């Protein structure tokens, strides 16, 4: 029986199956095999689209020719660290997105394990994720002005505070009225300007 001596000793001699050596497989091949194994209708279209997007991100990061068995916990941890600093359409990639991508990676890996295409468990166990940024609670106009008046905030921090502005019904009404009046003034100015140009 072809059993690793260390595994045999650590399992108190209870290893029943010999270790299976999986054939090296590239990441792009693994994703193709997984997709082709799915029967039509097994998953919702949106789920398949989401998986396809996550495959694309993972392939871009690790490289399509990367041998899957060479990806370890340190590689996955670096992936998390790098992605958490990355942006998409000028917004940071969220921790939730990174978790979904790695969840999809683990799903495919476990499928490959069940098909005997891989012989080792997925290297996502033990990955540390950055903490989510705590969002500020909603605040009134006067609360935000009081915080800003204390000083010590950057322009970005002040901007973030205004994103938390809570307006009462009366304040919403006043804001809408002000916006409408501004629009009327702008339109009136444009009409006058076009009349002067025409004359």
Closest CA to 50 of 108, 92, 89: 108
Could you identify the residue written with the tokens 């683990």? 106
Give the CA dihedral 49, 55, 59, 62, nearest 10 degrees.
150
pTM of the model: 0.58
Residues 6 or more apart whose Cβ sits within 8 Å of residue 167: 141, 175
- pLDDT reading at 18 higher than 70: no
Record the tokens describing residue 173, joined without a space: 């009404």
Q: Is the pLDDT of residue 11 over 90?
A: no
CA–CA separation, 96 vs 6, rounded Å?
Answer: 38
What is the pLDDT of the chain when averaged over all its residues? 85
Contact 27, 63 (CB under 8 A): yes
Residue range 109-113: average pLDDT?
93
| pLDDT digits 0-9 by tens, 38-69 | 888 888 888 889 899 999 999 999 999 999 99
The answer to whether 136 touches 161, Cβ cutoff 8 Å, is yes
């Amino acid at each position: 029986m072809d059993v690793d001596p260390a595994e045999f000793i650590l399992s108190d001699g209870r290893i029943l199956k010999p270790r299976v050596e999986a054939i090296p497989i590239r990441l792009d091949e693994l994703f193709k095999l997984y997709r082709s194994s799915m029967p039509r209708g097994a998953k919702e279209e949106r789920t398949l689209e989401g998986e396809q997007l996550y495959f694309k991100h993972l392939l871009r990061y690790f490289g399509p020719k990367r041998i899957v068995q060479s990806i370890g916990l340190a590689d996955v941890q670096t992936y998390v660290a790098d992605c958490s600093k990355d942006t998409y359409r000028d917004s940071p990639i969220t921790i939730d997105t990174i978790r979904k991508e790695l969840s999809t990676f683990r799903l495919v890996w476990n499928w490959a394990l069940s098909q005997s295409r891989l012989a080792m468990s997925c290297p996502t166990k033990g990955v540390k994720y950055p903490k989510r940024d705590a969002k500020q609670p909603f605040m009134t106009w006067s609360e935000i002005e009081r915080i800003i008046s204390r000083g010590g905030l950057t322009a970005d921090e002040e901007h973030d505070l205004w994103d938390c502005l809570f307006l009462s019904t009366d304040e919403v009404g006043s804001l809408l009225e002000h916006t409408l009046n501004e629009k009327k003034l702008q339109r009136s100015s444009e009409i006058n300007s076009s009349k002067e140009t025409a004359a």
